[in-house]
Homo-oligomer: A and B are copies of this chain.
Amino acid sequence: MSTIQIKRALLSVSDKTGIVPLAQQLHAGGCEIISTGGTRKKLEEARIPVTEISSVTKNPEAFSGRMKTISFHIESALLFDREKDATEAQALDIQPIDLVVCNLYPFAKVLAAGADFETLIENIDIGGPTMIRAAAKNFKYVTVLTSPTEYDEFLTEYQSSKATTYDFRKKQMVQAFNHTADYDALIATTMSRHVGEAGVRFSFNNGQKLRYGENSHQPAKMYQNAQGTYSLADMNILQGKAISYNNVLDITGAIDSVKNGQRQSCAVIKHSNPCGIAETDHQRKSLELAWAGDPISAFGSIIAFNTPVDLETVEFFELDHPDKAKRKFIEVIIAPKFSKEALAYLTHSKNLRVLELDLAKLPQSQEYRLMHGILLEQAPDKALYQYLESKTQKELSIDKNKGLIEFGLQAIKNIKSNSIAIVTQLGDQYCLMGMGAGQPNRLIATKLATDKAKDFIVHQFGDNPQTIQKYLAEAILISDAFFPFADNIELAAAAGIRQVVQPGGSIRDKSVINKCNELGMAMAFTGMRHFKH
């Protein structure tokens, strides 16, 4: 597996970044440079000697540039086997080309700029992929560079030896096929849309081993999108154990629960469901209230904030408490930023994963799921409600409760169905008092949520029955989907709930409204279901 001297190079790039310094180095090293069109002009302006491609192809540049490089001579020079085809190459007057530097017509760029169909077609590169693929196939002898980001590493190899190693060329071969695969994938997806067919092509690179999958007998990896757009893989791991597959699922649930918060939001996640969420003007208070949503489940949870985290907040965990049992153990903490003091404090818990992530930069794309050979695609669930309308004799004041209802709908969107959330306003603080998640029937979800809401009140305000009744009466119970029967209302009322928000839309809405009226409860409809699975 030998090194190969770079004596003759073909440079033909759409993105001209760094091409002049690269060519200067090649020229200084004694390498002949063949070039085309715009690249040639650029190099000649920099006074770098260039062999015009026509003199190699023996053909003119033709058809408004559609034909420049494709020729028997160029592709032969890239493809022939330097050992067994040597005599044949000599007989055919083919001189080897050792290096191809090529990137493609900017299809992605013109697409993003909203180009028309004709322009898109004109920006499909034919000669470029041919050269790149030919060079990559023959990587045993030929080096291929498809991005300016690769020039530095190449020059390091080149400057020391005027050559490249087998391993470098092999790595570049892989890059080359990644490049042409992703190029045609984008063309295929775009063109499919133009004929009314729907195709989706995904490319992911940089697969990193995770600690394990959902369970330790399942090996797992995390990949980043090949477009290199900001993603979860860009999270900055400031301390702690390696991230696991379940961590990533929980982190996703945590991010989704706080990213739309209007003020200081905090969410506590267990098994992808938020079991506590709060929004206040004070970060520490948000954490305290989110934790109180389910203090049993909060142990070993994943916690996310939508704002930079300070020391006062993390001191809540009492990680340096002399009584270890008093320390609040959590798995992961995520925020856009941590103060130096907060970070120093978190080192008390060595295994705790501390992650910085810019929530606002994450892509707002379609949602996808893969299973059993198919792909499911859906638009994300962005809206909260179609309308807010009180439907009962006792009015649920929308004006007075709008902020809280929106907080509650945002919460229910991130809790797995069937779900019930009970939210309340304490002063100007919003919080989730209790939730029931992932239930096959809504009655159980209601029971779970009311039980937890009671625990919350007892924990916060003591177990005086009147106190419990007061806070339950002030709270709002939110359902992710309509109530199919009035039995849920009876159950909620028996627990002390007086205010309900739900989508409506059942054929039995009338009997549900009647039941509220009979029990003196207030109920509003939103016209929008929020199932999540």
Binding site for B on A (CB under 8 A): 57, 59-60, 62-64, 66-67, 70-72, 75-76, 79-81, 84-85, 88-89, 92, 121, 124, 126, 129-130, 133-134, 136-137, 170-171, 173-174, 177-178, 180-181, 184-185, 187-188, 191-192, 194-195, 197-208, 210, 213-226, 229-233, 245-246, 248-249, 252, 255, 270-273, 275, 294, 296-297, 301, 362-363, 365, 367-381, 383, 386, 416-418, 437-441, 443-444, 448, 528-533
The listed residue (B92, B370, B443, B528) touching A296 by CB distance below 8 A is: B443
- Establish whether residues B137 and A133, one from each chain, have CB atoms under 8 Å apart when the complex forms: no
User: With A and B bound together, what is the CA distance between A289 and B435 in angstroms?
Assistant: 30
- Establish whether residues B81 and A374, one from each chain, have CB atoms under 8 Å apart when the complex forms: no
Residue of B nearest to A184 (CB): B181
Residue among A246, A374, A443 with max Cβ neighbours from chain B (10 Å): A374
Residue of B nearest to A71 (CB): B72
Residue of B nearest to A233 (CB): B374
Q: List 6 A-B pairs, Cβ < 8 Å.
A: A57-B72, A63-B89, A121-B137, A126-B134, A221-B376, A248-B376
User: With A and B bound together, what is the CA distance between A367 and B202 in angstroms?
Assistant: 15
- Establish whether residues B203 and A207, one from each chain, have CB atoms under 8 Å apart when the complex forms: no
Residue of B nearest to A301 (CB): B440
- Establish whether residues B198 and A203, one from each chain, have CB atoms under 8 Å apart when the complex forms: no
Residues of chain B contacted by A533 (CB below 8 angstroms):
214, 246, 249, 271-272
- Establish whether residues B374 and A225, one from each chain, have CB atoms under 8 Å apart when the complex forms: yes
User: With A and B bound together, what is the CA distance between A236 and B408 in angstroms?
Assistant: 41
- Establish whether residues B376 and A220, one from each chain, have CB atoms under 8 Å apart when the complex forms: yes
- Establish whether residues A217 and B130, one from each chain, have CB atoms under 8 Å apart when the complex forms: no
User: With A and B bound together, what is the CA distance between A532 and B249 in angstroms?
Assistant: 11
Residues of chain B contacted by A76 (CB below 8 angstroms):
62-63, 67
User: With A and B bound together, what is the CA distance between A64 and B88 in angstroms?
Assistant: 10
Residue of B nearest to A75 (CB): B70
Q: 10 tightest A-B contacts by CB?
A: A438-B438, A198-B207, A231-B373, A213-B378, A270-B440, A297-B440, A181-B184, A220-B378, A177-B188, A275-B440
